[in-house]
Amino acid sequence: QVQLVESGGGLVQPGGSLRLSCAASGSIFRINDMVWYRQAPGKQRDAVASITRSGITNYADSVKGRFIISRDDAKSTAFLQMNSLKPEDTAVYYCNAYLSTYTSAFAHYWGQGTQVTVSS
């Protein structure tokens, strides 16, 4: 029943900005934390930014100062504002949520991913 859908990816010029969204739907009771990951071709999937239910954030060193993670609990949605984008940011971006439903305990759920391409 739980679905996570990422959106907002696309092609952007170096130095540009992009805002990703991750919308969770289904019989969700509580979302504890949400994490944005990214995976470039031939590389492992790495965490980029995370945010807890209380609003505590963490960022990978590679994006610190450029990316901002936020959440809207009323909409069960997480966002990733990406500024000063570099070609190295090119990857498929995935959303992961640690949440509980009305009938099940906390578990991790993944979205399908959205492509971000930074190129001139």
Span 102-120, pLDDT tens digits: 999 999 999 999 999 999 9
Write the pLDDT tens digit of every residue in 21-60: 999 999 999 999 999 999 999 999 999 999 999 999 999 9
Share of the chain above pLDDT 70, in %: 100
Of the candidates 8, 25, 35, the one whose C-alpha atom is nearest the C-alpha of residue 95 is 35
pLDDT at 32: 97
For the chain, what's the residue count?
120
56-73 average pLDDT score: 98
SS (H, E, C) 24-81: EECCEEEEEEEEEEEECCCCCCEEEEEEECCCCEEECCCCCCCEEEEEEHHHCEEEEE
pLDDT at 45: 97
63-90 average pLDDT score: 97
Q: Which residues contact 42 (CB under 8 A, 6 or more apart)?
A: none
